[in-house]
Amino acid sequence: MVGGSGDALELMRPVFSAYASNIFHVGKLGDAQVLKLLNNLVLAANMMNAAELLKLGEDYGLDPRTVASVVQACSGGSAAMGIFAQRDVAEGLEHGAYARAHRSQVH
């Protein structure tokens, strides 16, 4: 995500291309920062939903990693669920834990 003039983007595109596969011109200077925050907020919301779903499954006796892997392969799959599917999710799951951990992101 790049904010600023189109000319500035084109000048810097070779540098950005060296470390980024997706380069989006999103508007004026500062707009990329706002969009990055919005992206982080939706990821945090999706992570909270995924964590709550995994805890609910665990409460019903299901293995959280199995739940994450199956949901990720089905219509409920998302970047957030994919994160949980790739790591040990059983430790530290409690209702609302992810929300409490990321509250500072939205204040």
Of residues 23, 29, 36, 92, which has the active-site annotation? 36
Does the pTM surpass 0.85? The reply is no
Average pLDDT over residues 2-29: 96
Residue 90 to residues 9, 43, 56, 73, 84: CA-CA distances in angstroms?
A: 44, 20, 12, 19, 10
pLDDT of residue 4: 95
- Is residue 55 annotated as part of the catalytic site, yes or no? no
Q: What is the pLDDT of residues 69-106, one digit of tens each?
A: 999 999 999 998 988 888 766 555 555 565 566 566 55
